[in-house]
């Protein structure tokens, strides 16, 4: 039952050739991993929505119909903002901080317009969160997505805030910029699915 201690340094004495204190930037990989998890969160909501849809004779049920025009405009705004934000990324790749700020500023603005449109829709829809199961789903799904848009806007504003510092973002070093962009694309893709599920499917019964 004895365990003989031996010297500690089993493999230590070998030379370590590289600079092991170098700080690599793994944030992008981290964000992507996290987004996998996030998509399952939305995936679960989509599944719940589809199960209810298959159970109800009419979905959306009477008196809780959705409209199409405003959300369609909103969709166009959000989808185009994904292109706009990409120009910001292109700009910083050329070291153009002013360009970055311009495009990111426009993206944030489009995001805010989207949220405003969403709020307007909530206000004019004529039913609330608790009206029926469809309304439950509608508000939870769009609300949860809206929350993500808000976080995206904050990220973009954060990037713009930091871009004031000279040389904070350069043509070579701009992971933060790209992360905000990827997140924005993610929010955008989720919206497209949401739009199809909630609005488009409502008219293809």
Partner 1 sequence: MAQAQLPVSGEFPVASGHHPTAWKWYDYFTFNVDHKLIGIQYLVFSFVFYLIGGLMAVVMRTELYTPDADVIDPNLYNALLTNHGTIMIFGWIVPAAIGGFGNFLVPLMIGARDMAFPRLNALAFWMLPPAGLLLVGSFLFGGAQAGWTSYPPLSLITANTAQSMWCLSIILAGTSSILGSVNFIVTMVKMRVPSMSWDKMPLFCWAMMATSILALLSTPVLAIGLILLLFDINFGTSFFKPDAGGNVIIYQHLFWFYSHPAVYLMILPIFGIMSEVIPVHARKPIFGYKAIVGSSMVICFVGLFVWVHHMFTSGTPPWMRMFFTVSTLIVAVPTGVKIFSWTATLWGGKIRYTSAMLFAIGLLIMFVVGGLSGVTLGTAPVDIHMHDTYYVVAHFHYVLFGGSVFGLYAAIYHWFPKMTGRMLHEPLGKVHFLLTLIGANLTFLPMHVLGTQGMPRRVAMYDPQFTQINQICTIGAFILAFSVIPFLVNVIWSWGWGEKASGNPWRALTLEWTTDSPPIIENWHRLPVVTHGPYDYGLNHHQEMPTTPAHS
Residue ranges binding partner 1 (CB under 8 A): 1, 3-12, 14-16, 18, 20-21, 24, 26-27, 29-30, 33-34, 36-38, 40-41, 43-45, 48, 51-52, 55-56, 129-130, 132-133, 136-137, 140
The nearer residue to partner 1, 90 or 129, going by C-beta atoms, is 129
The nearer residue to partner 1, 14 or 164, going by C-beta atoms, is 14
The nearer residue to partner 1, 40 or 171, going by C-beta atoms, is 40
Alpha helices in the chain (DSSP H): 27-55, 69-93, 97-124, 133-162, 175-194
How many C-beta atoms surround the C-beta of residue 164 within 10 A? 9
CB under 8 Å to 76, separation ≥6 — which residues?
none
Residue ranges with strand state E in the chain: none
Please answer whether residues 190 and 43 qualify as being in contact, where contact means their C-beta atoms are separated by less than 8 angstroms.
no
Q: How far is the CB of 10 from partner 1 (least distance, A)?
A: 5
The three-point CA angle 164-167-170 to 5° equals: 110
The nearer residue to partner 1, 49 or 114, going by C-beta atoms, is 49
Classify burial at 166, counting beta carbons within 10 Å of its beta carbon; exposed 0-12, middle 13-18, buried 19 or more: exposed
Q: How far is the CB of 3 from partner 1 (least distance, A)?
A: 6
Q: How far is the CB of 96 from partner 1 (least distance, A)?
A: 30
Q: How far is the CB of 99 from partner 1 (least distance, A)?
A: 30
């Amino acid at each position: 039952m004895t365990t003989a201690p031996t010297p500690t340094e089993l493999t230590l004495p070998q030379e370590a050739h590289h600079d092991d204190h170098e700080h690599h930037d793994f944030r992008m990989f981290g964000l992507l991993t996290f987004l996998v998890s996030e998509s399952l969160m939305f995936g679960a909501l989509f599944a719940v929505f589809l199960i209810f849809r298959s159970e109800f004779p009419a979905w959306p049920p009477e008196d809780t119909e959705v409209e199409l025009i405003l959300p369609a405009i909103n969709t166009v705004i959000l989808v185009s903002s994904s292109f706009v934000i990409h120009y910001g990324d292109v700009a910083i790749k050329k070291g153009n901080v002013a360009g970055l700020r311009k495009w990111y500023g426009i993206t944030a603005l489009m995001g805010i317009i989207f949220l405003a449109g969403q709020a307007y829709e909530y206000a004019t829809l004529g039913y609330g969160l608790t009206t029926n199961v469809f309304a439950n789903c509608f508000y939870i799904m769009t609300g949860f997505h809206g929350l993500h848009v808000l976080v995206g806007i904050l990220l973009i504003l954060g990037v713009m805030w930091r871009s004031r510092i000279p040389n904070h973002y350069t043509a070579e070093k701009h992971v933060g910029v790209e992360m905000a962009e990827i997140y924005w694309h993610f929010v955008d893709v989720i919206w497209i699915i949401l739009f199809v599920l909630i609005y488009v499917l409502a008219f293809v019964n």
